[in-house]
Amino acid sequence: MNATRLTLCVPGATAAELLPVARAADHWNLGGLWIGDPAGEAMFREDSYVTAAAAAVASVTEDMRIGVLL
């Protein structure tokens, strides 16, 4: 099936804020979750934090793409 799936962007969110959002997005079969801050203004915008948050999201989801904004 080649249907378009919605993705969700949560700019500048902490890992603690992302985990419940990721679980809900996975439950509702959203296509993906974008992590990071495209404007570069959030407190949690560093490369290492964003990649660690992406790993945390990957650990609580089953079938979701994870996009990283650096």
Q: Flag whether pLDDT at 65 surpasses 80.
A: yes
Whose CA is closest to 20, among 70, 56, 63, 47?
A: 56
Q: Flag whether pLDDT at 40 surpasses 70.
A: no
pTM above 0.85, yes or no: no
Q: Flag whether pLDDT at 53 surpasses 80.
A: yes
Q: Are 24 and 33 in contact (CB under 8 A)?
A: no
How many degrees, rounded to 5, is the angle at CA 59 between CA 57 and CA 64? 60
User: What 3-state class would DSSP assign to 70?
Assistant: coil
* Of residues 45 and 31, more confidently modeled: 31
